[in-house]
């Protein structure tokens, strides 16, 4: 069993394969990664060379490695030529999930898989939090939490919540969740998927490949409405739960929507429950209300009562770098939304607060910044960071913008001009790689500058 890519998921897959009796053959372009694998006793082989796949039955690929667009990795192309099936750790997980012990369980464990463009991590973490609050044995894995092959064997009646990116759903040869969640869709990773159609197709595989028992689909974009239509057998088919933020849904099926700060559940033409989300501190803004609806739907699909879910929503503290309140002082709130790496996510953050001092900028993605315009009414001023800060500022139309370049300058300027009642918000609308290793490092830097200036502890 060959393994390509020796980061977290690759090493985890290698360990799991060895434990299961296979002989992993590992490869990574990085000498340091190969050295780490060898230190754990794994054999290393350059799989792209002639004869690299001799004796190999399967190739497991880490999610960051392109397998088709913009060009196939040479090792994957060699696997094709050798007739070796290509898979990833998610596919291995679904193929191997389950054991003989399950025959003694009263309730087989469930897998809830969450995908979409924005809100996957918050939705996944919130489902996990609700299930734990309800007393259910639950583990969080995939793109968040533990690697899928590192989790513990699930208990009787337990659950595994997986956050899955398009990179993971696109290649997995097995995708069989009990409950599948599609949050929303906006342009992202388009080079990796050959355009928007390929990107949506990668997400759609979660629903098309394994036939989940229950599908939860955000219908605020055409792709979501298309997916619902493909999955439903009739208008009253409540195996599909429609989710929306901002508009009322109606019909004979199962609908959950948030409007004017209230989450409402309708089923078979009747209102089943309503929750006031306005005071749920860990879920500010319409985008988080959409996440709440999706998580609520998943919990209801597993039989959790509405009041139990409501209590869990109020105790949810949110995730780092996703609408995370890092400090409050002098009537000013400081919010770290470093995960808003694309325009759609940043727009949702801008629409979540009424008056904003906006720290933004970084490595811009395709499509420009025009789609941010509906959120500009909430922005008092922008403070732009990044190596191309001047160019980014020019894309903000008539919005007052100050080129700051580095995070420290941007935070100091925003704090000096902020007034009581305002929010100093980091929502970059761009990738972090021009200045930081990842969005987490960027968010930590923002929080550290804020807390230093306020004389608070700098740790997240």
Is 335 part of a structural domain of the chain?
A: yes
Number of structural domains in the chain: 3
Report the mean per-residue pLDDT for the chain: 94
Q: Which of 356, 324, 355, 345 is nearest to 429 (CA)?
A: 345
pLDDT score, position 415:
97
pLDDT score, position 302:
97
Q: Do 423 and 302 fall into the same domain?
A: no
Q: Do 279 and 333 fall into the same domain?
A: no
pLDDT score, position 317:
85
Q: Do 105 and 211 fall into the same domain?
A: yes
Residues paired with residue 430 on neighbouring β-strands, in sequence order: none
Please give the annotated binding residues, written as ranges: 116-122
- Spatial CB neighbours of 12, under 8 Å, sequence gap ≥ 6: 89, 147, 148, 149, 150
pLDDT score, position 285:
87
Is 162 part of a structural domain of the chain?
A: yes
The CA distance from 87 to 149, in Å, is 14
Q: What is the pLDDT of residues 258-305, one digit of tens each?
A: 999 999 999 999 999 999 999 898 898 888 999 999 999 999 999 999
More confident of the two residues 397 and 111: 111
Q: How far is CA 428 from CA 38, 214, 356, 392, in A?
A: 39, 35, 13, 10
Could you tell me the pLDDT band of residue 404, with boundaries at 50, 70 and 90? very high
Q: Do 420 and 337 fall into the same domain?
A: yes
Q: For residue 287, give the CATH number of its domain.
A: 3.40.1190.10
pLDDT score, position 458:
46
What's the pTM value of the predicted model, to 2 decimals?
0.86
Q: Do 214 and 252 fall into the same domain?
A: yes
Q: Do 105 and 36 fall into the same domain?
A: no
Q: For the ranges 24-38, 170-184, 319-333, 418-432, which has the lowest average pLDDT?
A: 319-333
Residue 26 tokens read as: 């590992």
57 burial level (CB within 10 Å; 0-12, 13-18, 19+): exposed
pLDDT score, position 162:
98
- Tell me the mean pLDDT in the region 447-458: 85
Is 380 part of a structural domain of the chain?
A: yes
Is 460 part of a structural domain of the chain?
A: no
Could you tell me the pLDDT band of residue 319, with boundaries at 50, 70 and 90? confident
Is 104 part of a structural domain of the chain?
A: yes
Is 349 part of a structural domain of the chain?
A: yes
Q: What is the pLDDT of residues 214-233, one digit of tens each?
A: 999 999 999 999 999 999 99
Q: Do 81 and 101 fall into the same domain?
A: no
Is 364 part of a structural domain of the chain?
A: yes
Could you tell me the pLDDT band of residue 460, with boundaries at 50, 70 and 90? very low
- Spatial CB neighbours of 151, under 8 Å, sequence gap ≥ 6: 139, 141, 160
pLDDT score, position 459:
45
Q: What is the pLDDT of residues 344-353, one digit of tens each?
A: 889 999 999 9
Decide which of 266, 289, 315 is a domain's last residue: 315
The CA distance from 242 to 225, in Å, is 9
pLDDT score, position 63:
93
Is 459 part of a structural domain of the chain?
A: no
Decide which of 87, 116, 139 is a domain's last residue: 87
Q: Do 161 and 267 fall into the same domain?
A: yes
- The count of C-alpha atoms lying within 13 angstroms of the C-alpha of 421, restricted to the half-sphere facing its C-beta, is 5
Q: For residue 73, give the CATH number of its domain.
A: 3.40.50.720
- Tell me the mean pLDDT in the region 247-260: 94
Do residues 57 and 84 touch, judged by C-beta distance below 8 A?
yes
What domain range is 126 assigned to? Answer: 93-315
- Tell me the mean pLDDT in the region 90-102: 91
Do residues 153 and 186 touch, judged by C-beta distance below 8 A?
no
Q: Do 118 and 63 fall into the same domain?
A: no
Question: Which residue has tokens 């001009």?
Answer: 417
DSSP β-ladder status, 379-385 and 401-405: parallel
Do residues 56 and 25 touch, judged by C-beta distance below 8 A?
yes
Q: Do 142 and 69 fall into the same domain?
A: no
pLDDT score, position 187:
83
pLDDT score, position 125:
96
Please give the annotated binding residues for ATP, written as ranges: 116-122
Decide which of 286, 315, 344 is a domain's last residue: 315
Asked whether the predicted pLDDT for residue 456 surpasses 80, the reply is no
Q: Do 370 and 385 fall into the same domain?
A: yes
């Amino acid at each position: 069993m060959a393994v390509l890519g020796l980061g977290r998921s690759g090493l985890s897959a290698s360990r799991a394969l060895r434990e299961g009796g296979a002989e992993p053959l590992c490869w990574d372009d990085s000498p340091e990664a190969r050295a780490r694998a060898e230190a754990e006793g794994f054999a290393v082989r350059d799989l792209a060379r002639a004869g690299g796949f001799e004796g190999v039955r399967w190739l497991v690929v880490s999610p960051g490695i392109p397998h088709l667009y913009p060009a196939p990795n040479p090792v994957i192309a060699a696997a094709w030529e050798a007739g070796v099936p290509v898979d990833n750790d998610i596919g291995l997980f679904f193929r191997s999930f389950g054991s003989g012990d399950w025959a003694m369980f009263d309730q087989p464990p469930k897998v809830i898989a969450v995908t979409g463009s924005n809100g996957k991590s918050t939705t996944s973490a919130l489902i996990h939090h609700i299930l734990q609050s309800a007393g259910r044995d639950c583990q969080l894995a995939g793109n968040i939490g533990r690697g899928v092959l590192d989790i513990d064997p699930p208990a009787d009646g337990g659950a595994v919540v997986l956050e899955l990116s398009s990179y993971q759903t696109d290649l997995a040869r097995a995708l069989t969740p009990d409950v599948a969640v599609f949050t929303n869709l906006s342009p992202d990773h388009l080079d990796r998927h050959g355009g928007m159609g390929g990107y949506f197709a990668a997400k759609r595989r979660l629903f098309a490949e394994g036939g989940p028992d229950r599908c939860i689909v955000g219908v605020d974009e055409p792709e979501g409405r298309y997916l619902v239509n493909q999955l439903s057998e009739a208008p009253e088919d409540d195996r599909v739960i429609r989710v929306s933020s901002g508009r009322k849904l109606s019909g004979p099926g199962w609908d959950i929507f948030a409007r004017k700060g209230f989450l409402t559940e309708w089923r078979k033409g009747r209102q089943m429950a309503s929750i006031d989300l306005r005071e749920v501190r860990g879920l500010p803004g319409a985008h988080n209300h959409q996440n709440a609806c999706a998580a609520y739907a998943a919990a209801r699909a597993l039989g959790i009562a509405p009041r139990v879910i409501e209590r869990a929503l109020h105790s949810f503290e949110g995730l780092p770098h996703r609408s995370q309140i890092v400090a409050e002082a002098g009537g000013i709130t400081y919010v770290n939304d470093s995960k808003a790496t694309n325009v759609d996510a940043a727009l949702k953050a801008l629409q979540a607060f009424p008056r904003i001092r906006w720290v933004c900028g970084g490595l811009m993605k395709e499509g420009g910044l025009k789609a941010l315009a509906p959120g500009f009414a909430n922005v008092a001023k922008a403070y732009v960071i990044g190596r191309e800060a001047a160019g980014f500022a020019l894309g903000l139309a008539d919005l007052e913008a100050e080129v700051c370049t580095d995070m420290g300058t941007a935070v100091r300027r925003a704090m000096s001009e902020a007034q009581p009642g305002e929010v100093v918000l980091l929502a970059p609308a761009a990738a972090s790689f021009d200045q930081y290793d990842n969005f987490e490092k960027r968010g930590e830097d923002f929080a550290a500058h804020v807390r230093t200036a306020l004389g608070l502890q700098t740790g997240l």
